[in-house]
């Protein structure tokens, strides 16, 4: 029965967008990260990303991150500047304490900007955080 199925709620796992200096290209890049602010590791982390708006959509990109230690983070991908004008969706799936977790994080179009930056947990820098 459906009522017997437990769907665990994702807590203390976030997606962050950070603007960082790239020494190789001598420019500022927008990068996405997954943050594990839990006291236990998250395992078999899979992140599927896509961008879309009314007229366009990007390809689905799948990122097998693996295990993220407690109170740490991992880089997902670089976001090109033109993607900031689109909705950016991050579908995150992982195991923790023998349970499967799944959550979608959506950054609405034109909302990723430096004015929305805040202090990020674990990373010790500023960026945009989606809980």
pLDDT at 1: 65
Pairing verdict, β 72-79 and 118-119? unpaired
Tokens 């993220």 belong to 68
pLDDT at 25: 84
* Domains of the chain, CATH where assigned: 13-130 (2.60.40.1600)
CA–CA distance, 126 with 131 (Å, rounded to integer): 15
pLDDT at 46: 98
Spell 34-58 as b/e; 16+ CB within 10 A means b: bbbbbeebbeebebebbbeeeeeeb
pLDDT at 6: 81
pLDDT at 47: 98
pLDDT at 93: 97
Contact status, residue 103 vs residue 89, Cβ threshold 8 Å: no
The pLDDT profile of the chain, 131 residues, written as one tens digit per residue, is 677 778 899 999 999 999 999 998 889 999 999 999 999 999 999 999 999 999 999 999 999 999 999 999 999 999 999 999 999 999 999 999 999 999 999 999 999 999 999 999 999 999 999 99
CA separation (Å) from 28 to 25, 58, 60?
8, 22, 24
* pTM of the full structure: 0.94
């Amino acid at each position: 029965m459906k009522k017997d199925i437990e769907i665990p709620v994702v807590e203390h796992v976030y997606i962050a967008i950070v603007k960082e200096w790239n020494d190789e290209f001598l420019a500022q890049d927008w990068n996405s990260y997954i943050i594990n602010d839990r006291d236990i590791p998250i395992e078999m982390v899979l992140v599927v990303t896509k961008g879309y708006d009314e007229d366009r959509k990007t390809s689905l990109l799948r990122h097998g991150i693996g295990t993220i230690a407690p109170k740490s983070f991992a880089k997902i991908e670089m976001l090109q500047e033109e993607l900031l004008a689109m909705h950016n969706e991050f579908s995150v799936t992982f195991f923790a304490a023998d349970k499967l977790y799944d959550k979608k994080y959506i950054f609405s179009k034109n909302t990723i900007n430096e004015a929305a930056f805040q202090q990020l947990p674990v990373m010790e820098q500023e960026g945009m955080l989606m809980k």
